Amino acid sequence: MKGSRVEKQIEFAREIDRLKRVERRTLLADGSRLENSAEHSWHIALLAVLLVEHAKDREIDLLRVVRMLLVHDLVEIDAGDTYCYDEEGRRGQADRERRAAERIFGLLPEDQAAALRAAWEEFDRGETPEARFAAALDRVQPVLLNHSSGGKSWVEHGIRRDQVLERIRPAKEGAPALWKVAAELLDDAVERGWLQE
Amino acid sequence: MKGSRVEKQIEFAREIDRLKRVERRTLLADGSRLENSAEHSWHIALLAVLLVEHAKDREIDLLRVVRMLLVHDLVEIDAGDTYCYDEEGRRGQADRERRAAERIFGLLPEDQAAALRAAWEEFDRGETPEARFAAALDRVQPVLLNHSSGGKSWVEHGIRRDQVLERIRPAKEGAPALWKVAAELLDDAVERGWLQE
């Protein structure tokens, strides 16, 4: 089996397990602990199935969206999760992630390495209707969790509403109705003092 | 927004976050901690994309498989994860899970409640080619993790090879090539003394 197609696939399957150890800065909805990138990916993939009716583009390919969301964070296995409000940390992020993609997708048989890498790049570029909808889910879900946990993570990092609004701006393009939900949660969070004006 | 379609969807999105707190009996590949059901669902959904060429039935609908895998464990939010080798615990499991499905899918707008519940039931009955392939992934992935972590969970619970073979039998129907990989991992685990003969 060594070096065979299925062996490469199984090796990849073992390797990606490490995404479960990558911590994000978002707490779970109950505030009990930080979310990891694997369970985050599950959450938004299921939300894609559930919320596809809110995609701006009606002719969206749902499987394409789900595939992107399932792989979109894999590079974090090597590159780590970069906090979206950490200007410093974001420098060099693109390079780190490119090298990570090279190594991780490179474990796969060539055709699959190319296909999954293309899905990751499509997400990253955010130019297709599918990528824009996927980005909307990726941006709105943390707002939902942060709001559910009483804004703990926002308070801890001293985040302002305009920073989050800037962060979720792509959601306006990908899923306007979901952007609206998120914006209302932000208003509520400011009112409750969880988010700075 | 109260009680509107999108509000019900958002309420469901908050509720399913709890799956991240449901612990399974399988350790992560590095043995560092128990896996939870949300990250498990992510793992096998991505494996479905990757391994669909090994499905016994060539005409398989991949989106249908992925949708099933993303929702297949949601009932555990109420019913808990039942250890597959716990005869006692498995009694009453079906009833607990049915009640859980009622409540959890019931949070959704009616059409979506029916659709996601149908996906869960399709997985549970295991009668379609898609459900059989989904089951194969659900059964083979823990073998991969248990093997990667040096059989810790098998040793701890004193599991025998025939118990695991019985457990992964559905994989033979859904994805024979993956069943073969798992069976070889079991042979290796017996040789290493991680699994009882």
The pLDDT value given to residue A86: 82
Contact B18 A36 (CB under 8 A): no
The amino acid sitting at A177 is: A
Q: Shortest Cα distance from A15 to chain B (angstroms)?
A: 8
Secondary structure letter of residue A28 according to DSSP: P
Q: Name every chain B residue with its beta carbon within 8 A of the beta carbon of A116.
A: 50
Contact B39 A36 (CB under 8 A): yes
Q: Shortest Cα distance from B196 to chain A (angstroms)?
A: 23
**Tokens at residue B59, please?**
């005409």
Cα A44 from chain centroid? 8
Residues of chain A with pLDDT under 70: 1-2
The pLDDT value given to residue A3: 83
The contacts of residue B193 (CB under 8 Å, 6+ apart) are: none
Q: For residue A37, give the chain B residue with the closest CA.
A: B39
Find the CB nearest B17 among A9, A13, A43.
Answer: A43
The pLDDT value given to residue B83: 83
Quote the CA–CA distance of A54 and B53 in Å, as a whole number: 32
Q: Shortest Cα distance from B26 to chain A (angstroms)?
A: 12
Q: Judging by DSSP bridges, how do beta strands B23-27 and B34-36 pair with one another?
A: antiparallel
Residue pLDDT tens, chain B, 197 long: 458 999 999 999 999 999 999 999 999 999 999 999 999 999 999 999 999 999 999 899 999 999 999 999 999 999 998 888 888 878 888 999 999 999 999 999 999 999 999 999 999 999 999 999 999 999 999 999 999 999 999 999 999 999 999 999 999 999 999 999 999 999 999 999 999 99
Vertex B105 angle, CA B104 and B108, to 5°: 110
**Tokens at residue B181, please?**
């990989």
The pLDDT value given to residue B70: 98
Find the CB nearest B20 among A35, A67, A148.
Answer: A35
Q: Shortest Cα distance from A129 to chain B (angstroms)?
A: 18
DSSP string, chain B: -TTSHHHHHHHHHHHGGGGGG-EEEEEPTTSSSEEEHHHHHHHHHHHHHHHGGG-SSTT--HHHHHHHHHHTTTTHHHH-PPPTT-HHHHTTHHHHHHHHHHHHHTTS-HHHHHHHHHHHHHHHHT-SHHHHHHHHHHHHHHHHHHHHTTTHHHHHHT-BHHHHHHHTHHHHHH-HHHHHHHHHHHHHHHHTTSSB-
The pLDDT value given to residue B2: 59
The pLDDT value given to residue A90: 82
Q: Name every chain B residue with its beta carbon within 8 A of the beta carbon of A178.
A: 6
Interface test with B, best of A24, A32, A46, A110 (most B CBs within 10 A): A46
The pLDDT value given to residue B84: 81
Contact B10 A181 (CB under 8 A): yes
pLDDT digits (tens, 9 = 90+) for A24-71: 999 999 999 999 999 999 999 999 999 999 999 989 999 999 999 999
Only one residue has tokens 């089996």, namely A1
Only one residue has tokens 């005869």, namely B87
Total beta-carbon pairs less than 8 A apart between chain A and chain B: 123
Interface test with B, best of A1, A14, A17 (most B CBs within 10 A): A17
Find the CB nearest A70 among B32, B42, B181.
Answer: B42
